[in-house]
Structure 1
Amino acid sequence: MRQGKSRKAALVAMLLVCAQIAACSSDTGTESQAESKPAEAGKTGTGNAASKSFASEKPLELTIHYHDGDIWVFKDDWPVFKKAAELTNIKLHGVAPPSATNSKEVFNMMLASGKLPDIIAGQKLDLNKAALDGALEPLDDLIDKHAPNIKKFLQDNSWAKAGSIASDGKLYYIPYMVEGEASEGWYMRKDWLTKLGIPAPKTKDEFYETLKAFREKDANGNGKKDEVPYFSRDNKEGISDLLAVFGVRPDWHVVDGKVQYGKYLPEYKDAILNISKWYKEDLIDKEIYTRGPKSREVLLGDNLGGTTHDWFPSTATYNVTLKDKVPGILFAPIAPPNAVNGKPWEENSRTLLYPKGWSIASSNKNKIETIKYFDFWFTPEGRRLENFAIEGAQYDVKDGKPIFKPEILNGKDPVNVQLRAFGAQLEFGHQQDLFYEEQWTNPIANEGIKMYIDNKYFAPQFPSVSFMPQEEKLLGEKWPAIDTFVREMQQKWVLGAEQVEPNYVKYLARLKEMGMDDVIKIYQAAYDRYQKSVK
């Protein structure tokens, strides 16, 4: 962001734009002509033709604030939403300034304007805070009376509502949800394993020996000791992925009903001791804290990288893009090499409930029509529209399934990027359809995904909890400093700038002094409330 006067001028300009928003659409107050029948949760529908399910008796325009980064700003001419207008009789008009790049700043200025658009999209924390301040309408009664598809979905998936409600127990926004457990997994150069005559590792000791073999036995065959056995493109969490090899769940998780934080546990010491040893032995990328997002391109492209932990679909693509530069490359998924307690597990699974969605402003004069419009996106027609865009343009229906056209699957940009240009695959209140992703995922990645799902590798994830206002305040005061301290100490230990022993005791004492126990109590209380809500 620009500094000084230019920054202030930009903020003033945005405030003026927000103040001029036509927050009140035509006040029809009408019921819909016909309500859609509830859709089966998790189903997209198989009909070729979309049926009209008007949310408003008369054509109605609603204003919407949707600003999710500098490229995801609502556009009135998105084909997906123009089609939705035909099917619902409701047209949306975006009011967020497209030139702004700081979504949180734009959101706050929109609220400060005092004149709110009919629909407000944003982050869970921001939406629920605005709701408790009176800016948003509670949706529970509206859903119960006018949104049969949303109602059924939330009844069938109680976790979605439990993870979205505000601290007063009410639901103020419809969340964005995805499908499928698999997100990340372990990838290893299987062509190197074959060359060296060793199997894929299954335990931490075997993993260590495999990394050593990559480094010491000239796995890439160039006569140099230049292999980088383990690398990561995540400067912040690349080392944390290795913690699972030692049986440590690095972040928030629950054991027998008790909330724990992995880097505040005794076993974290043993893990970080070993990881620092591996780093010293050149088994871990020396630039793991600085190399950044291009690590896969650089280290795989130079035939140096041996192992990483990353997203299934994108990581598998290097087998195709590098096949001419690195003949015979086979960078493929392996089972998690961490059978510490007898069964391997994968720490990272897909976040099914994103902390994002859209809501109805309390000043909206067409609340019934708006909730019916929200409900449309949970019908088979609406869900297909947002997941696959326009039939005949981006996809065709074959055997009852939406199949992307070759020009979409083979386009120069990723499929999801292409679809967003049409208004599809946005992160507002609807459920993603995993079939959209399966169509463009590399076969190698799909095999890995199937292996992880079939073997039930995924560890239980910490749920999306809500905090009381006083809890949020305390977390805001304590957690940023704690998180920074934890990251700094981990980096010092790994790089050898400070020894783990005897300083680990001091590390734990410092965390306690910074209020870590209070933070855990807050998470425990929030988790307990979540458990009561989900039952």
Structure 2
Amino acid sequence: MKMKKVLVPLSALTLLTSVLAACSNSNHDAKESGPASTSTPTSTSSTENKPSGSPATLTVEIFDRGIQGQPDLNNNTWTRYINEHFGKPNNAVVKFVPVPRSQEVDKLNVLMASGEAPDISFTYDNTTVYRYAKMNGIMQLNDLIAEHGKELTNYLGEKVLSYGVYNGKQMAIPAKRTSLAWGGMFIRKDWLDKLGLPLPTTRDELYNTLVAFRDKNPGGVDGVIPWGLAATGMNYGTGNLVDSFWEAQSEEEFVTVPGWLRPGNKEAMKFLNKLYNEKLISPDFALDKTAKQVDADVTNGKVGFFSANWDYPLRQNISEPLKANVPDANFVPIDTFKNDEGKYKKIAYNENGINIIIPKSSKNAELAIKYLNWMSSPDVLFFLQYGEEGVNHKMDDNGIPEVINQAGDNMQTSYLNLDYTLVVNGVELGDPEKNIKALAATAPGLEEVAEQSYKINTTDTYTGFYFDTPNEANIKFGKTLGDLNKQMTDKLISCKPSEFDNLYDKMVAEYMAAGGQAVTDESVKIYKAMQANKK
């Protein structure tokens, strides 16, 4: 299998490639050479001319991740700091508008349609930004950034900002990532040890391991689940298994053709169908649309293998209950889906993260840019991510800050307060090596596992191809195709083996007729134009 550095449009991927999201644990870079000062930051130059009169209310979207025991998302250590150090100097009140993480696009669409979207809204979905840019539903930001966003511009840099340019205009402000690892795969090492099995390094070895988990139940649990899976969505996907089946394609084909038509994709889905029908996958995965059931299965010690974000088993809501329920449980990262080139190809993040937009309905666009500009200060970012030393974090012997996990006001409901530090997806210490060590430090006792997982999931990677022109067909059909992706994946995994071939061909034909062909044709057109412009 010969393939150049593989670039792929996220819209063309099936959701089998671990679209995790993105989301829950992204990261970005900074220009500072080490940890910022732990002294409490003050307001920046954006507040030199302090406004007077009644305070303005700046509304800012925030993900509600539904974490047990989470604080009031509008009244906690971090929101009070924001209102004290940005709000008061700018005669403003910053009010956060919670949006369920699992429904972020749908909820944003409702808010935009009703004219009630927060002044600062955001989405990980590029198609949504394309659509609102085309509809003239969001503000063009070039002038506002030029006047009020000097620190924001310096922090993000030209490359990151370019991901928010549509038809030559800055329509979105992408966050910056400091870590590019995406998905990961994890297996119960203690189960392997009990069975005398090595870490599986190929699909066949993993299959044999899953069978052994099913038949020998090394955990002695009621209802053992060899592979924990949830309905296609944020977590508990199929990792890079599908990628490992893909055959050679030209770069143009790879970045323009939907995953459903990629050579080898059907065989990948058939393999997953085989696993499901042999009771090697969560039996009711298609009903588990929030992943709460598989979370419970993992933390109760029933699951032997799963794929999710590269750091998922290190997170407090997984690692702590698992340790309490099954003290000897030991999930370790593995690379097991090798392709016919002997590579473990997997997708990684681009340098850009979440897309920040300002709706046309906003009356506070200038204040919104000032807020993001204020947030771009190294001192502000450090405090929002780490808080006060001795209270919210401690420093290790290498000068790496480590968050002190807490409940109540001091709880961080996302990794390093990702949801409150919009200009950066993840830890920001100004040095890539320190960033990774700081990420690892968020999982005390599991630092080595974290660094190993990061290394595995930044090896043999490809990134999403960036089309410099909005795909009109994708704007029109993207939501429909995204929903179809999920339905197709779940149905094809769980159907009867005798029905698989006909169902696959039928659903792929329906997908292409529902907009897949139109998106492909437009992608080819844009790709060819981009290549021609390089000559």
* TM-score (ref. length: structure 2): 0.71
Whether contact under 8 Å (1:396, 1:403) holds in the other structure is: yes
| 2:187 aligned with 1:188 | yes
SS at the partner of 1:417? coil
SS in 2 for 1:208: helix
Match of 2:226 in 1: 229
5 Å-filtered alignment, 1:140-179, equals: 140-144=142-146, 147-155=149-157, 158=159, 160-166=160-166, 168-179=167-178
| Aligned pairs (5 A) from 1:70-219 | 78-85=79-86, 89-94=89-94, 102-110=107-115, 119-123=119-123, 137-144=139-146, 147-155=149-157, 158=159, 160-166=160-166, 168-219=167-218
Contact 1:66/1:94 (CA < 8 Å) preserved in 2?
yes
Structure 2 residue 417 is matched with structure 1 residue 417: no
Aligned residue identity for 1:47:
S
Residue 196 of structure 1 and its aligned partner are, at CA, apart by 1.5
Taking structure 1 as the reference length, what is the TM-score of the superposition? 0.71
Q: Please state how far the C-alpha of 1:308 moved relative to its aligned partner.
A: 0.9
Gaps of 5+ in 2: 1-28, 66-71, 429-434
Cα–Cα, structure 1 residues 342 and 255, in superposed 2: closer, same or farther, change >3 Å?
farther
* Deviation at residue 201 of structure 1 after TM alignment: 0.8
1:306 paired to 2:313: no
Q: Equivalent residue for 1:12?
A: none
Instruction: Give the alignment partner of residue 49 of structure 2, picking from 44, 47, 58.
Output: 58
Distance 1:393 1:238 in 2: 32
Which of structures 1 and 2 has the larger relative contact order (alpha carbons within 8 angstroms, sep 6+)? 2
Distance of aligned partners of 1:452 and 1:338 in 2 relative to their CA distance in 1, 3 Å threshold: farther
CA distance in 1, matches of 2:359, 2:34: 25
Residue 321 of structure 1 aligns to a residue whose secondary structure is helix
Could you tell me how far 1:267 is from its partner in structure 2? 0.9
Q: How many residues align?
A: 477
CA drift of 1:476 comes to 5.2
8 Å CA contact 2:174–2:356 kept in 1: the answer is yes
| Segment of structure 1 superposing worse, 395-404 or 40-49 | 395-404
The Cα of 1:490 is off from its aligned counterpart by 1.6
Amino acid at match of 1:177: K
* 8 Å CA contact retained: 2:38, 2:382: no
How do residues 393-472 of structure 1 correspond to structure 2 at under 5 angstroms? 394-395=392-393, 403=401, 408-411=404-407, 415-417=411-413, 425-426=419-420, 428-430=422-424, 432-433=426-427, 435=435, 437-444=439-446, 446-453=448-455, 456-457=458-459, 459-463=461-465, 468=470, 470-472=472-474
Q: Report the residue type matching 1:483 in the other structure.
A: N
Q: For 2:98 and 2:484, how far apart are their aligned partners in 1?
A: 35
2:383 aligned partner:
385
Which deviations, in whole Å up to 9, do the C-alpha atoms of 1:324-346 show, x marking residues without a partner?
64353222222233344202234
Structure 1 residue 453 displacement after superposition: 1.9
Query: How big is the alpha-carbon RMSD for the aligned residues of Structure 1 and Structure 2?
Result: 4.6
Shift of 1:206: 1.1
Query: Aligned-pair distance for 1:531?
Result: 8.6
Instruction: State whether residues 233 and 291 of structure 1, in contact with CA within 8 Å, keep that contact through their aligned partners in structure 2.
Output: yes
The secondary structure found in structure 1 opposite 2:518 is helix
Larger Rg: 1
SS of alignment partner, residue 110 of structure 1: coil
